[in-house]
Amino acid sequence: MNFDKLSKNRYSMRNFSNEKIPAEMLAQILEAGRVAPTAKNLQPQRILVVQDEERLKQMSEICSCIFGAATVLVVCSENGAAWESPFDGRNSGEMDASIVATHMMLQAADIGVGSCWVCYLDREKMAELLQIPEQYTLQCLLVMGMPGEKAAPSERHNKRFALDKTVWFEKFK
């Protein structure tokens, strides 16, 4: 699939089948995250793959946005491993994790695996449940799996602002 078509057709899937993601497909998705660009190539991302049914059920009790997915990628950044701007001290950990998550999400869509980016969760409770060490910050979840029978984009999916609402060009005099 070409990128233009991929970026327009990919949507946040909220209906998954019970089918597990085949190992080779999951490996492709994780590889896309591994090669994603990060600030100064410091690669602070750490990905926890959760596929255990009991653990997924526990996660669903903390987060209503697991949607029955058979796999959850818990995207974290390692504290102190990300680049910090010498101008304002801004840390790139969240940004780097977002780039990595985007690469994995798009790779998943390209090979027929659905996903949904989730930030609507109590990160502290989720980190405690998953026993994420304190040196990592949980940035987001990528719930993913094979499409369910009712998988479809939400009504909001194609409601995008026009370019002139989100982009402007500097005018030189």
Average pLDDT of 21-25?
97
What's the CA gap between 141 and 90, in Å, rounded? 23
User: Domain span at residue 52?
Assistant: 3-166
Residue 173 lies in a domain: no
Q: How many domains does the chain have?
A: 1
Residue 149 lies in a domain: yes
Residue 172 lies in a domain: no
CB 138 within 8 A of CB 144: no
Q: Summarize pLDDT for 106-130 with one digit per residue, the tens.
A: 999 999 999 999 999 999 999 999 9
Residue 22 lies in a domain: yes
Give the type of residue at 133. P
Whether pLDDT at 173 is above 60:
no
pTM above 0.75, yes or no: yes
Instruction: Report residue 117: phi and psi, to 5°.
Output: -80, 125
Residue 73 lies in a domain: yes
Residue 64 lies in a domain: yes
Residue 87 lies in a domain: yes
Whether pLDDT at 1 is above 80:
no
Q: Summarize pLDDT for 81-108 with one digit per residue, the tens.
A: 999 999 999 999 999 999 999 999 999 9
What's the CA gap between 6 and 106, in Å, rounded? 7
Distances (CA, A) of 119 to 16, 88, 94, 134, 138: 19, 25, 12, 19, 10
What's the CA gap between 78 and 64, in Å, rounded? 26
Task: Indicate the range of 9-18, 31-40, 65-74, 118-127 predicted with least confidence.
Answer: 9-18
Residue 61 lies in a domain: yes
- Residue 98 sits in a domain whose CATH number is 3.40.109.10
Whether pLDDT at 142 is above 60:
yes
Q: What is the pLDDT of residue 37?
A: 98
